[in-house]
């Protein structure tokens, strides 16, 4: 197997040059602005890409789930932040194990969570660094009330085996932005609000080392705000049609695509490809907000829309395209992070030639 056009479909292909460029570009921003880059690896789930990020200067990584962190630790990553509330006995015991192997920190946003961590780390005569999650508009996890944040910080200070390392936020609400200006506003709010929290906590005598922000659209905005010292973008390694729709990048920066084959053309206006929701995902916006058109952008066929998906079929609406049964198409998916999680491996290419195959080791790691 040497060339893309010989690959069986559907499959994931990644342009290595574009991937490298994306990694280097974000690292350049971080280095220039003297913020730590701690990329979220839920996007790629591949130890090889995490290691590329580290080699380029990332201090450590961020994971969404402990099972992802376990895969990355096994692959040699030494500094991991789990940006997720771990509140159950089973998982805290796994945290304990992991904390013996890597420099580990974890999210908290409740006294219940702090108490659970403290109970099991104390029992094991060990301790754990935590970052308080701050809500800057996503309205998911995290706190935004100053008194509540201080009260939680104080609670941590009074817990024998849990230590405050800092505060973090993720302005995922940016995926609902109308345009680039709104992206900018959200990024600024993200940075300014979390810095305000840091300053407030410090007036109360609580030291806050890490002040961490950054989705892919906001990383280069909040990352410039004085007081922010860490950014955690994830999607930037690949980018996708949603990032493009937000004006974050040109479509040419997207390094990941799904290769698919036309399997049916029942009418002149309709063709069907072998990639459906089990290959392209149903995302139309990262947090359920619809901005994109259809279910991905077909390269070289800008007049074709991926109108509908069933599980194994993508229904294309055609205008004048001369596409025919047996043709292969390359699709930039709407949301690269969820696509990667549907596949077991990805082909690394130089555009045409297959250079390597990366196993998606942390695929399905939702625990």
Please, which residue, 225 or 237, has the CB nearer to its own copies?
237
Minimum CB separation of residue 285 from its own copies in Å reads: 10
Minimum CB separation of residue 255 from its own copies in Å reads: 19
| 100 secondary structure, DSSP code | T
Please, which residue, 33 or 67, has the CB nearer to its own copies?
67
Q: Is residue 277 packed enough to be buried (19+ CB in 10 Å), middle (13-18) or exposed (0-12)?
A: middle
Please, which residue, 78 or 94, has the CB nearer to its own copies?
94
Query: What are the backbone dihedrals phi and psi of residue 27, each rounded to the nearest 5 degrees, phi first?
Result: -65, -40
Pairing of strands 314-317, 128-133: unpaired
Alpha-carbon distances, residue 24 vs 30, 55, 97 (angstroms): 10, 10, 33
Please, which residue, 15 or 109, has the CB nearer to its own copies?
109
Q: Is residue 118 packed enough to be buried (19+ CB in 10 Å), middle (13-18) or exposed (0-12)?
A: buried
Minimum CB separation of residue 34 from its own copies in Å reads: 30
Minimum CB separation of residue 363 from its own copies in Å reads: 8
Starting at the edge strand found earlier in the chain, the sheet holding 79-85 runs: 36-37, 230-231, 210-213, 162-168, 128-133, 103-108, 79-85, 61-63
Minimum CB separation of residue 240 from its own copies in Å reads: 13
Minimum CB separation of residue 24 from its own copies in Å reads: 26
Compute the residue count for the chain.
367
Name the token pair of 211. 């002040």
Minimum CB separation of residue 88 from its own copies in Å reads: 6
Minimum CB separation of residue 80 from its own copies in Å reads: 16
Distance between CA atoms of 153 and 148, rounded to whole angstroms? 9
228 backbone φψ class: left, alpha, beta (φ>0; ψ -120 to 50): beta
Please, which residue, 17 or 145, has the CB nearer to its own copies?
145
Binding site residues, its own copies, CB under 8 A: 8-11, 42, 64-65, 84-88, 90-91, 109-110, 112-113, 116, 133, 135, 139-143, 172, 261, 263-266, 270, 272, 274-275, 277-279, 281-283, 286-288, 308-313, 315, 324-326, 337-338, 341-344, 363-364, 366-367
Distance between CA atoms of 81 and 60, rounded to whole angstroms? 8
Please, which residue, 78 or 328, has the CB nearer to its own copies?
328
Please, which residue, 107 or 231, has the CB nearer to its own copies?
107
Distance between CA atoms of 43 and 168, rounded to whole angstroms? 19
Please, which residue, 38 or 65, has the CB nearer to its own copies?
65
Alpha-carbon distances, residue 278 vs 10, 178, 282 (angstroms): 10, 28, 9
């Amino acid at each position: 197997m040497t060339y893309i056009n010989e690959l069986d479909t559907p499959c994931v292909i990644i342009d290595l040059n574009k991937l490298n460029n994306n990694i280097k570009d974000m690292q350049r921003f971080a280095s220039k602005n003297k913020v730590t880059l701690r990329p979220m690896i839920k996007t790629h789930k591949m130890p090889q890409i995490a290691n590329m990020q580290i080699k380029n200067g990332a201090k450590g990584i961020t994971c969404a789930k402990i099972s992802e962190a376990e895969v990355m630790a096994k692959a040699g990553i030494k500094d991991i932040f789990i940006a997720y509330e771990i509140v159950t006995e089973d998982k805290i015991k796994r945290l304990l194990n992991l904390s013996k192997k890597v420099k580990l920190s974890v999210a908290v946003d409740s006294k219940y969570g702090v108490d659970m961590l403290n109970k099991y780390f104390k029992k094991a005569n060990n301790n754990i660094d935590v970052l308080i999650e701050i809500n800057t508009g996503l309205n998911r996890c995290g706190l935004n009330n100053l008194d509540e944040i201080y009260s939680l910080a104080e609670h941590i200070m009074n817990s024998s085996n849990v230590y405050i390392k800092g505060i973090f936020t993720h302005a995922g609400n940016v995926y609902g932005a109308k345009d680039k200006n709104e992206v900018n506003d959200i990024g600024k709010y993200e940075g300014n609000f979390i810095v305000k929290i840091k300053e407030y906590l410090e007036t109360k005598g609580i030291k806050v080392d890490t002040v961490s922000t950054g989705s892919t659209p906001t990383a280069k905005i909040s990352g410039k705000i004085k007081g922010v010292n860490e950014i955690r973008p994830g999607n930037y390694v690949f980018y996708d049609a949603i990032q493009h729709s937000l004006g974050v990048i040109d479509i040419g920066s997207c390094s990941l695509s799904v290769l698919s084959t036309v399997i049916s053309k029942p009418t002149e206006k309709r063709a069907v490809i072998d990639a459906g929701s089990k290959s392209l995902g149903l995302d139309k916006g990262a947090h359920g907000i619809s901005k994109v058109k259809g279910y991905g952008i077909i390269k070289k066929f800008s007049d074709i829309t991926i109108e509908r998906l069933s599980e194994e079929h993508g229904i294309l609406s055609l205008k004048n395209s001369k596409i025919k049964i047996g043709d292969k198409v390359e699709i930039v998916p709407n949301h690269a992070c969820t696509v990667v999680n549907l596949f077991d491996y990805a082909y690394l290419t130089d555009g045409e030639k297959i250079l390597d195959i990366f196993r998606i080791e942390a695929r399905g790691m939702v625990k």
